[in-house]
Amino acid sequence: VPETLRIHPPSPNLTRTCTDSYNVPGTKYTIQKGDVVMIPSVGLHHDPKYFPNPDKFDPERFSEENKNLRPKYAYLPFGEGPRICIGMRFGLMQAKVGLVGLLSRYKFSVCEKTAIPIVYDPVALFMSAKNGVHLTIMRGRDGRGSSAALLDLRKPLHYTTYMTFLACQHAAAGACVTK
């Protein structure tokens, strides 16, 4: 999940308002109090100085020994500090629960409708593929596709995951669907 968020962060940049005037070291520039500063998280996440071979998917970048080799603020999918995204932990847990459930029951492949590499919509608020991401979803080898055994529907936490399972269950005939 961290490597996917590095390559495809939810937001292309973060904004902060300067609380005190700041002289940028080694330049003649000053950021004035009240100025809005944009931090390009996409640029940081794809900078070879912090992430060698940045276009390659390499989950090992986030192993315990590797993540300490780069500056703390080079990876900002949810921001950092007191303004970090309040939903970060819930979102990561929901993604992991959903992925485990989906990948244990279905096989996914990219449809020919999906542009590779992904072309982002330049006017979208969040990072999203310009023409969508189209997937073929097939039942797993064991033919399972029902989510009822995995989820307790009385627990609201699982509602979003359950809806995702239902969408996959209905699409499991192998049709190319938009995610």
Helix ranges (DSSP H) in 69-175: 88-105, 159-171
Q: What does DSSP assign to residue 171?
A: H
Q: How far apart are the first and last CA of the chain?
A: 17
Asked if residue 85 belongs to a known ligand binding site, the reply is: yes
The Cα–Cα gap between 113 and 131 comes to 8
Q: Where are the alpha helices (DSSP H) in 33-87?
A: 41-45, 64-67
What span, in angstroms and rounded, lies between the C-alpha atoms of 121 and 127? 7
Q: How far is CA 85 from the centre of its chain?
A: 13
Q: Residue type for 15, please?
A: T
Q: How many CB atoms lie within 10 A of CB 18?
A: 14
- Say which residues have a Cβ less than 8 Å from residue 31's Cβ, sequence separation at least 6: 18, 21, 22, 24, 37
Annotated binding site: 85
Annotated binding site for heme: 85
